[in-house]
Amino acid sequence: MSKHTVRKSAIDTIAKVKPAGGAVDYLETDVRDVYSCNVFTDTIQRERLPKDIYKKLQATINSGKGLDSAIADSVAVAMRDWAIEGGATHYCHWFQPMTGSTAEKHDSFIEPDGGGVVMKFSGKDLVRGEPDASSFPSGGLRATFEARGYTAWDPSSSAFLLEGPNGVTLVIPTMFISWTGEALGAKTPLLRSDAAISNATLRLLKLFGNNEATRIASSLGAEQEYFLVDKHFALHRPDLTNCGRTLFGAKPPKGQELDDNYFGAIEERVIACMAEMEYELIKIGVPIKTRHNEVAPGQFELAPTFEASNIAADHQMITMEILRRVSDRHGFVCLFHEKPFAGVNGSGKHVNWSIGADVGGNLLNPGDNPHDNAQFIAILAACCRAVHNYAPLLRITAASAGNDHRLGANEAPPAIISIYLGAQLTDVLDTIESGKKSKAGKTKPLELGVSMLPKLPRDAGDRNRTSPFAFTGNKFEFRAVGSNQNPSAAITVINTIVAESIDYLCDELVKAAKTKTPTEAQLNKALQKVLPKIVKDFRPVIFNGDGYTQEWKDEAAKRGLPNLPTTPEALDYINKKDIVALFKKYGVFSKKELDSRKEIHLENYASILKIEADTTLVMARTMLLPAALKYQTQVAEAYISLKAAGIDSETQANILGDLAGTIDAFSASIDTLAAAIAHDAPAAAMKHACYMRDTVLAAMNECRELGDALETVCNDELWPIPSYNEMLFIR
């Protein structure tokens, strides 16, 4: 069977595919009965646990304090019985190692008991698991022979039942730590950072007279973008199979130029897939709210409502897994790579972040009175100062080999971290800094705590999609995170740097007021003195214009803002002295943990490029070059036949000559790539990553450019891999 027959067969097969029936008929099922039906919710806990045990568990969940070990057995028995009634035969500690994805170790409830079995699940089984830590990335935290690691139950994130084709598993969200206590996963630092921002913000609220709030929590809303490609095409693309992105592929005649896909009507086959995705997510308590077509053909987005960041991060990671599983049932491959198709819109994971108090609500909401407005401006200023002082840290949380292809393109912000506030809030800060009347003439000289801010609408400014960090009404949207990335890293950093800035603000206010418990008048006077200086210091990071322009790059350089376009450049900042001191102060990362993450990310970056380079080489040598040579033979034979028939022209000769020249150049680029791959790479992780970026990736790009040029001239019947035109438009 020829390769063309394979492609044609795939198209013929897809043409006959009809939308699969959904897993649920929403005409017959009330979605309210389905939501969280597979979650060990507060309601179920209240029903199944003794009253005193339930209260102690809720106290742990709500306060963030350690679990009373005395209640673990009672909770485990209730959870086991509920899970078994739901069909579960196994349980697993579900965790997020430093692979960027999730991991799980399944154990059966069944234990032998004489001649039969019993269903056992103890408090010890619930609270702690022991996976092999040596086989996960540790960046030097653990040696290979030091295998012990622990998963520790996170009571704040509810256990749930995950249904499979042949059974049900009780999934217990956990942290992953080493035998010596270092964080080996993403969840532990996130929880530590939540404690940091809670403590710092409570301190500020007390200065503002709020002594009722006892806990501050960060919130997360993660918008997930993804592509769906029919399996019949994807499985004939070694690059999609091995790398999650296309390493070759010419742009189709029509892409996203007409802007007709964004929010367009969703095709029946896709909507059927989406409906089942949502059904599976709703059952495990993921509050999916939005679905729509994205900018590129074949690209889509779904988004949940806001939740506490720890729970939202767990939900986001299980969402990616559910999307993969369900799309496979519908004959699709779900792509989370940040740039699966060159020249086509890429995919991000917009991280929406805010903070709220158990008494006082969302702290990034502008107030309705002078006191609340002063508090809002103080917190806003602290956030801006944090981003200005620690911009490289935010860039690191969006650093990956895949995201390097996306940042700075039309669908993503640039690698220069800046803040968009909109004209109205920027004007307010101008007024604070200068102490003069607003340029817009809407406010008197601002006296915080006395004058009213201008009435701010829910969206105080237009939306700026080129801004990496934009204030959007009552939250900040960090748009740089890649589709394939765990949002925990971004939230961990935002929490920590904002905690540091809020603490700094508190110190300055106390110093200015000359008392740790200032009166309202003393606090207002201190704000008048402290805030203008803070605003002046972070002023360079505020930018409301077009972040794509060269003018902004030049201006950012003048302002002293770092421009870190690639992952190695960003990761070079991760263990700088001030960064180490910051994380050590708040107990989020030790120096050892930071060093390990730098090593892991650099190794991962180099490994991804090595896999892509090897795949590029194999595809070029065994698929594309043979097809091009076969086409060259056909053209040469046609030219010879025409010449023998007395039909000879310079145009025909030029066609053959141009084709031969492109094939020769393509063949030479293959040899260059092979030599780059075979070259002994530097042993040091940073030097190795830079070598892969500067030498191997450059060779890959040259090979791709020539391969794509051949695709546009070769006989379509000979081209061996599905084209962009097929993958993006045929579903």
- 502: nearest Cα among 336, 680, 357, 642: 357
Query: What is the pLDDT confidence band of residue 434, given thresholds at 50, 70 and 90?
Result: confident
Query: What is the pLDDT confidence band of residue 529, given thresholds at 50, 70 and 90?
Result: very high
Contacts of 2 (CB under 8 A, 6+ apart): 717
User: How many secondary structure helices (H) and strands (E) does the chain include?
Assistant: 25, 18
Mean local confidence (pLDDT), 390-418: 89
Question: What per-residue confidence (pLDDT) applies to 428?
Answer: 87
Percentage of the chain exceeding pLDDT 90 = 69
Query: What is the pLDDT confidence band of residue 443, given thresholds at 50, 70 and 90?
Result: very low
* Model confidence pLDDT, tens digit, residues 125-141: 999 887 776 678 777 76
Model confidence at 383: pLDDT above 70 = yes
Instruction: Determine the Cα–Cα distance for residues 402 and 404; give it in Å rounded to an integer.
Output: 5
- 220: nearest Cα among 439, 558, 6, 478: 478
Question: What per-residue confidence (pLDDT) applies to 95?
Answer: 93
Model confidence at 460: pLDDT above 60 = no
Greater pLDDT, 582 or 448: 582
* Model confidence pLDDT, tens digit, residues 139-175: 776 655 565 688 999 999 999 999 988 889 999 999 9
* Model confidence pLDDT, tens digit, residues 472-486: 889 999 999 999 999
Q: How far apart are the first and last CA of the chain?
A: 23
* Model confidence pLDDT, tens digit, residues 336-372: 999 999 999 999 999 999 999 998 889 999 877 777 8
Greater pLDDT, 252 or 499: 499
**Residue 620 DSSP label:** I
What residues does each domain of the chain span?
Answer: 35-185, 193-602
Mean local confidence (pLDDT), 578-604: 95
* Model confidence pLDDT, tens digit, residues 183-220: 889 999 999 999 999 999 999 999 999 999 999 999 99
Greater pLDDT, 66 or 606: 606
Question: What per-residue confidence (pLDDT) applies to 241?
Answer: 95
The mean predicted confidence, pLDDT, of the chain is: 89
- Where do the DSSP E strands lie in 398-549? 419-420, 469-471, 476-478
Question: What per-residue confidence (pLDDT) applies to 20?
Answer: 67
- 186: nearest Cα among 617, 525, 474, 485: 485
Residue with tokens 């086991």: 80
Question: What per-residue confidence (pLDDT) applies to 681?
Answer: 79
Query: What is the pLDDT confidence band of residue 610, given thresholds at 50, 70 and 90?
Result: very high
- Where do the DSSP E strands lie in 435-592? 469-471, 476-478
Model confidence at 441: pLDDT above 50 = no
Mean local confidence (pLDDT), 552-557: 94
State which of 448-452, 499-503, 639-643 shows the largest mean pLDDT. 499-503
Instruction: Determine the Cα–Cα distance for residues 248 and 254; give it in Å rounded to an integer.
Output: 17
Greater pLDDT, 247 or 452: 247
Question: What per-residue confidence (pLDDT) applies to 23?
Answer: 63
* Model confidence pLDDT, tens digit, residues 280-326: 999 999 999 999 999 999 999 999 999 999 999 999 999 999 999 99
Instruction: Determine the Cα–Cα distance for residues 137 and 364; give it in Å rounded to an integer.
Output: 37
Q: Where are the alpha helices (DSSP H) in 390-487?
A: 391-397, 422-434
Model confidence at 335: pLDDT above 80 = yes
Per CATH, which fold does 193-602 belong to? Answer: Creatine Kinase; Chain A, domain 2 (3.30.590)
The tokens describing 718, both together, are 């000979």
Mean local confidence (pLDDT), 707-725: 95
Mean local confidence (pLDDT), 244-252: 95
Model confidence at 97: pLDDT above 60 = yes
Greater pLDDT, 180 or 248: 248
* Residues 528, 229 contacting (CB under 8 angstroms): no
Percentage of the chain exceeding pLDDT 70 = 91
Dihedrals phi, psi of 470, to nearest 5 degrees: -120, 135
Contacts of 72 (CB under 8 A, 6+ apart): 122, 123, 124, 126, 127
Long-range interactions of 55-61: CB distance < 8 A, separation 24+: 57/155, 60/155, 61/155, 61/156
Model confidence at 596: pLDDT above 80 = yes
CA 645 to chain centre: 63
The tokens describing 577, both together, are 């002295």
Homologous superfamily, domain 35-185: Glutamine synthetase, N-terminal domain (3.10.20.70)
Beta bridge partners of 164: 167
Q: How many CB atoms lie within 10 A of CB 440?
A: 13
- Where do the DSSP E strands lie in 197-269? 216-230
